[in-house]
Amino acid sequence: MKTADTRPAPPHRRVAPPYRIVALPAAIALGAVGGIAAEHANVPFVFGALAGAAAGVLGVLALPSIPTRRATVVLLGLGGLAALRHASFAGADRSWLLVVWAAATMLTLVLVDRADAETVPALDGGAALPSRLGETARVGGIIAIVVAIAAVAFVPTVTARLGRHVWPGLAPSDADAFGSPSSLKSSPDLDLTTRPRLSDAVVFTVDASRPDYWRGETFDVYNGSSWTNSAPDDDQTFLDHVGTKVEVPADPYDVGAENGRDFRQTFHVEAGYSDVVFAAPSAREVETDKLLHQRPDGTLRIATPFHGEVDPGAGFGKGAVYTVTSRSLPVTENELRAADVRPVPEPITAQYAQLPNTTARVVDLARAITAGQGTTYDKVRAIERWLGENTRYSLNAPLSPPKVDVVDDFLFHTRLGWCEQIASSLVVLARSAGIPARLVTGFAPGSRDALTGRFVVRERDAHAWAEIYFAGIGWQGFDPTASVPLAGDVHSSGSWLSAARHNAIPLAITAIVVMILLALTPEITAASRRRRERRATWSAGAMHRLERAGRKAGRVRAPPETPREYAHALAERIGDPRLEEVGDTLDAALYSAHGASGAARDRADAVLTSVRP
Amino acid sequence: MSPRTDEGGPGVAAGHGPGAALRGAAAHQGPGDLTLTSIVLFTLGAYGVAAGAATGQEGVVAVGVFAFTLFAIGILWPVWSLSRLTVSVVAPTDAVVGDPVELGIRISGRAARLDVRALDPPGNWWRTSAPADGRLPHTAARRGVFRSVRIQLRTSAPLGVFVRTRTLRVMLPAPIAVGPRPSAAAAILQPVPTERISMGSPVIVSSGVDTVRAVRPYAPGDPARLVHWPTSARRGELVVREHEPPPAVGVALVVDLRGATPEAAASLAAGIGRATLAGGGLVWCGTYEDGAPVGATVADTLDLERRLARAAPGPPASPPDRWPVETVSA
């Protein structure tokens, strides 16, 4: 025969029920961070996410000997540190995980505080706490809006004003170096017979007061299919550091670089590797921790043990920051036209104005285009116009066949090409007309980020343009591709975060509207409820009309006043004794077991309609 | 410790009688407490902003700004939330030290959740949301007549970053008289002059001797035990017995609180008085109240407690002639 077990149950410590729900957002928060950390450590994302989620669940539910709030906050703190550690490495693709972490962290804090509140005994007769879901949703929405506004307001300010101008960044790995876009790596030549890779990946961002072309390298020798630089690789000047500052000697023939206005830019490298120091023309000072050397044409690159070869250890890695101060002379068209009165220095003519290795018909075309143009500037503009009128831009243009002059093929056959063909044509045509010119590669300004104010430069912003020498002024850039859509034309990026940044102002307005609506929700709900009550019962509607009449008469109903008391007081104030009967009818309708008669209601309605406060 | 009929005790404010404003009571606000959450968020925020600013990494700065924003919201929200609340309290008119009383509390304004308690002495916290009408249990700790109570509100909603505590001194619509807790004492039932009985309120005096003087028709309020059933049966209507008035007994309590232990003296006086009243005796109480000696026969224990609640150190009234006197000194 079984007997009831009357022994006391062994003590079983469990987390109090209100805290159990906390495990869910805690798991999400730590799972998001775990996923980011795992990817950074080259571990599959799912492993990190599961580990983080498990830590969150166990931390909340399996440590009953530790106050749940304390355990949860400590866990969230660790998750926050991990988020800080890996935030900069998350990349655009995983930035949403940071948002998930932030949202889940905030919800965890709300829920754990709510759970704490539920452990306090309820006040006898007091109001019940709002529903957990409702409170969490409302608070979460408001906080999310405030956080978004704070992020929009402060992140650019902090990064722009407090951000360092020099930072080493990560040491690039071999994979970074060899996987990096060719547009970021110094190269002895520019092959015009290969199609460039133009992805949406951000290669660097630039803090600058205005957009400019970020110049990388120049090329002056054209051989029909590619460009090279006439300066030998070993003809390079190592630049001395003074602290982190490197003074860049000015090209003696570049007057603007000597006497122009300063323009400061800070580059934040986002790609895994880069060994070219990009800068608006013409760089005069670089702040960096890297050893630099300068080619005779002014190109700056990171010094490597083996010239022209990629050295992962010497390049800028992801996160590297360097600042360039450039100097250029703002000029007008008239000044450029007037430059012809001065002679072009002989070394410039010798290096940059020699007839290029091209076909005779290209030379003839150049002469035909520039015929009748009096100045160098007008000749260049004429060539630009001709290119704009007779060629089209396309990244899908057919590649020139082998052993065919690329410029000739472009100008006389396909008339379809991208910036390299178009800019090469301008340089070749200009030289054919006796104008000193060279090809420049680098990046278009990119799109300005609405959130950070930085110019976001992507791989597809890689660009080529021409520089023309003007005596007494120096090198001036001409972009013949400008009249047609550039490869670097701004498109919406794939990143939702970038899309959000581009739409920061509409988002902020929407957020404010939503916040106002949230704030007004209780009032709107209460008003709606009152309206429904008025429609549902005669007494509520009549009471509303009576109170409205009272408000107009300047006599608001006091909370403890019964309808009858109020109506009588109002009758005396307005001088309309009929209101007393309205009060009596209301009292009967509200409190009498039999209610008010239909006739009494009709009379009351008539009084309320005709009363004149 | 002396009772404070005008200024002290558990939150007494001077010069406010019944009908004083319920709302907008003068508030003095105490500080709040930062929690572990605040330390964590502040650390994350400071580190994130500093490290992010140093490196120019927007992601790190964003995490820091997020943590700082939560930190700021976590502090400002409770402060703002409690600042909008007003509290009114209705208390019973009588209480005894150590006995629980229920304060009717009304919290106006809007707050998702908050805790509330009465101070002097600090009671337990009770949770509610606002607006709310509730009953707040409290135990009076000190003797006296109190015209206000101190109510404490606190909240850490919504993030638990900062526990904001706000203390309000709330005027009572009617003062509460907190009498002393009676200590154990024996009744003093000694004969007192009968002519003095009329000075007090009507009381039923039972001497234990059932001497029937007459009968009279029943009147509402007469105890059923006084119904004289045989006569009622004869007359066909209810009649009740009228007793001979018993010989009056009682004591004159002279309560002199000028001394080191006024509360103990008041408790002893309450004990003697209650025991005497319970034994059917009369109690004359001489005290010093509101700056003057006061002496009068008390009607019942409630009256006795009120008298003792108002009693203050000072020369008590002289006892009436020929009354047995019990002097209780502090």
pLDDT of residue A215: 94
Q: Could B65 and A163 be called an inter-chain contact, meaning their C-beta atoms sit closer than 8 Å?
A: no
Number of domains in chain A: 3
Q: Is A147 among the domain residues?
A: no
Give A158→chain B minimum CA distance, Å: 6
Q: Could A124 and B134 be called an inter-chain contact, meaning their C-beta atoms sit closer than 8 Å?
A: yes
Cβ-count burial B169-197 (b if 16+ within 10 Å, e if not): bbbbbebbbbbbbbeebebbbbebeeebb
Distances (CA, A) of B113 to A105, A126, A449, A526, B84: 20, 11, 41, 19, 13
pLDDT of residue A525: 76
Tell me which of A60-69, A512-521, A581-590, B34-43 is least confident.
A512-521
Name the residue with tokens 């638990």: B160
Q: Could you count the other beta carbons within 10 Å of the beta carbon of residue A355?
A: 12
Give A497→chain B minimum CA distance, Å: 11
User: What's phi and psi for A17, nearest 5 deg?
Assistant: -50, -40
pLDDT of residue B21: 26
Does residue A234 sit at the B interface (CB-CB below 8 Å)?
A: no
Does residue A118 sit at the B interface (CB-CB below 8 Å)?
A: yes
**Residue A156, H or E segment:** helix A132-157
pLDDT of residue B61: 82
Q: Could A127 and B52 be called an inter-chain contact, meaning their C-beta atoms sit closer than 8 Å?
A: no
Give the tens place of pLDDT for each residue, A470-489.
998 889 999 988 765 443 33
Does residue A536 sit at the B interface (CB-CB below 8 Å)?
A: no
CA-wise closest residue to A312 among A278, A275, A270: A275
**Widest CA span of chain A, in angstroms?**
122
DSSP per position, B41-61: HHHHHHHHHHHHHHHT-HHHH
Name A201's Cβ contacts closer than 8 Å, sequence gap at least 6.
A181, A270, A271, A458, A459
Task: Summarize chain A as % helix, strand, coil (round to 5).
Answer: 50, 15, 35
Q: Is the peptide bond before A168 cis (omega within 30 degrees of 0)?
A: no
Tell me which of A388-392, A580-584, B23-27, B178-182 is least confident.
B23-27
Name A553's Cβ contacts closer than 8 Å, sequence gap at least 6.
A570, A573, A574, A613
Statement to judge: residues A464 and A546 lie in one domain: no
Residues of B in contact with A522 (CB under 8 A): 110
What confidence tier does A208 reach under pLDDT thresholds 50, 70, 90? confident
Scan residues 422-481 of A and list those with Cβ closer than 8 Å to B.
451-452
* Contact of A163 with B51, CB cutoff 8 Å: no
Higher-pLDDT residue of A63, B18: A63
pLDDT of residue B18: 26
With a pLDDT cut of 90, the percent of chain B lying above it is 51
For the segment B255-281, the average pLDDT, to the nearest whole number, is 92
* Contact of A264 with A239, CB cutoff 8 Å: no
CA-wise closest residue to B89 among B127, B122, B110, B119: B119
Residues of B in contact with A127 (CB under 8 A): 128-132, 134
Does residue A526 sit at the B interface (CB-CB below 8 Å)?
A: no
Does residue A113 sit at the B interface (CB-CB below 8 Å)?
A: yes
What confidence tier does B31 reach under pLDDT thresholds 50, 70, 90? low
To the nearest 10°, the Cα dihedral for A365, A368, A370, A371? 160
Q: Which among B55, B136, B157 has CB closest to A113?
A: B157
Strands B100-118 and B126-139: antiparallel
Give A284→chain B minimum CA distance, Å: 23
Q: Could B128 and A122 be called an inter-chain contact, meaning their C-beta atoms sit closer than 8 Å?
A: yes
Does residue A554 sit at the B interface (CB-CB below 8 Å)?
A: no
Distances (CA, A) of A613 to A384, A534, A587, A600, B166: 81, 21, 21, 21, 43
Does residue A80 sit at the B interface (CB-CB below 8 Å)?
A: yes
Give the tens place of pLDDT for each residue, B65-107.
899 899 999 999 999 999 989 999 999 999 999 888 999 999 9
Does residue A560 sit at the B interface (CB-CB below 8 Å)?
A: no
Does residue A47 sit at the B interface (CB-CB below 8 Å)?
A: no
Does residue A90 sit at the B interface (CB-CB below 8 Å)?
A: yes
Higher-pLDDT residue of A34, B5: A34
Residues of A in contact with B43 (CB under 8 A): 77
- Give the chain B residue whose CA is nearest to the CA of A142: B73
Q: Is A575 among the domain residues?
A: yes
Residue A77 to residue A83: CA distance in whole angstroms? 10
Q: Is A351 among the domain residues?
A: yes
Residue A456 to residue A445: CA distance in whole angstroms? 8
Domain-ending residue, one of A91, A119, A147: A119
Q: Could B57 and A319 be called an inter-chain contact, meaning their C-beta atoms sit closer than 8 Å?
A: yes
Does residue A96 sit at the B interface (CB-CB below 8 Å)?
A: no
Does residue A67 sit at the B interface (CB-CB below 8 Å)?
A: no
Q: Is A189 among the domain residues?
A: yes
Beta partners for residue A279, in sequence order: A215
Q: Is A531 among the domain residues?
A: no
Residue B26 to residue A39: CA distance in whole angstroms? 58
Residues of B in contact with A139 (CB under 8 A): 112, 157-158
Q: Is A42 among the domain residues?
A: yes
Statement to judge: residues A211 and A265 lie in one domain: yes
Q: Is A128 among the domain residues?
A: no
Q: Could A126 and B133 be called an inter-chain contact, meaning their C-beta atoms sit closer than 8 Å?
A: yes
pLDDT of residue A216: 94
Statement to judge: residues A198 and A252 lie in one domain: yes
Structural domain for A104, as ranges: 17-119
Q: Which among A150, A159, A522 has CB closest to B52?
A: A159
Give the tens place of pLDDT for each residue, A418-455.
899 999 999 999 999 999 999 999 999 998 776 566 78
Q: Which among B69, B125, B136 has CB closest to A147?
A: B69
For the cut 80, the answer to whether the pLDDT of residue A94 exceeds it is: no
Q: Could B48 and A127 be called an inter-chain contact, meaning their C-beta atoms sit closer than 8 Å?
A: no
Give B28→chain A minimum CA distance, Å: 23
For residue B120, give the DSSP letter.
T
Tell me which of A166-170, A425-429, B176-180, B245-249 is least confident.
B245-249
Q: Residue A390 burial by CB count (10 A; 0-12/13-18/19+): exposed, middle or buried?
A: exposed
**A interface test, pick of B55, B116, B164 with most A CB neighbours within 10 Å:** B55
For residue A392, give the DSSP letter.
E
Question: What are the tokens at A4?
Answer: 């009831």
pLDDT of residue A293: 85
Higher-pLDDT residue of B177, A37: B177
Question: What are the tokens at A362?
Answer: 């290209």
* Contact of A271 with A317, CB cutoff 8 Å: no
For the segment B43-55, the average pLDDT, to the nearest whole number, is 81
pLDDT of residue A489: 39
Give the tens place of pLDDT for each residue, A317-330.
988 889 999 998 88
Strands A462-470 and A455-458: unpaired
What confidence tier does B53 reach under pLDDT thresholds 50, 70, 90? confident
Q: Is A527 among the domain residues?
A: no
Q: Could A159 and B57 be called an inter-chain contact, meaning their C-beta atoms sit closer than 8 Å?
A: yes
For the cut 50, the answer to whether the pLDDT of residue B32 exceeds it is: yes
Statement to judge: residues A404 and A356 lie in one domain: yes
Q: Could B40 and A139 be called an inter-chain contact, meaning their C-beta atoms sit closer than 8 Å?
A: no
For the segment A276-304, the average pLDDT, to the nearest whole number, is 88
Q: Could A113 and B160 be called an inter-chain contact, meaning their C-beta atoms sit closer than 8 Å?
A: yes
pLDDT of residue A310: 54
Residues of A in contact with B135 (CB under 8 A): 123-125
Does residue A158 sit at the B interface (CB-CB below 8 Å)?
A: yes
Does residue A137 sit at the B interface (CB-CB below 8 Å)?
A: no
For the cut 50, the answer to whether the pLDDT of residue B26 exceeds it is: no
pLDDT of residue A1: 39
For the cut 60, the answer to whether the pLDDT of residue A177 exceeds it is: yes
Q: Could B52 and A102 be called an inter-chain contact, meaning their C-beta atoms sit closer than 8 Å?
A: no
Scan residues 250-289 of A and list those with Cβ closer than 8 Å to B.
266, 268
Q: Could you count the other beta carbons within 10 Å of the beta carbon of residue B220?
A: 4
With a pLDDT cut of 90, the percent of chain A lying above it is 27
Statement to judge: residues A250 and A344 lie in one domain: yes
For the cut 60, the answer to whether the pLDDT of residue A3 exceeds it is: no
For the cut 70, the answer to whether the pLDDT of residue A289 exceeds it is: yes
Statement to judge: residues A460 and A571 lie in one domain: no
What confidence tier does A530 reach under pLDDT thresholds 50, 70, 90? confident
Within 13 Å of residue B47, how many CA atoms lie on the same side as its CB?
14
Residues of A in contact with B161 (CB under 8 A): 109
- Give the chain A residue whose CA is nearest to the CA of B118: A123
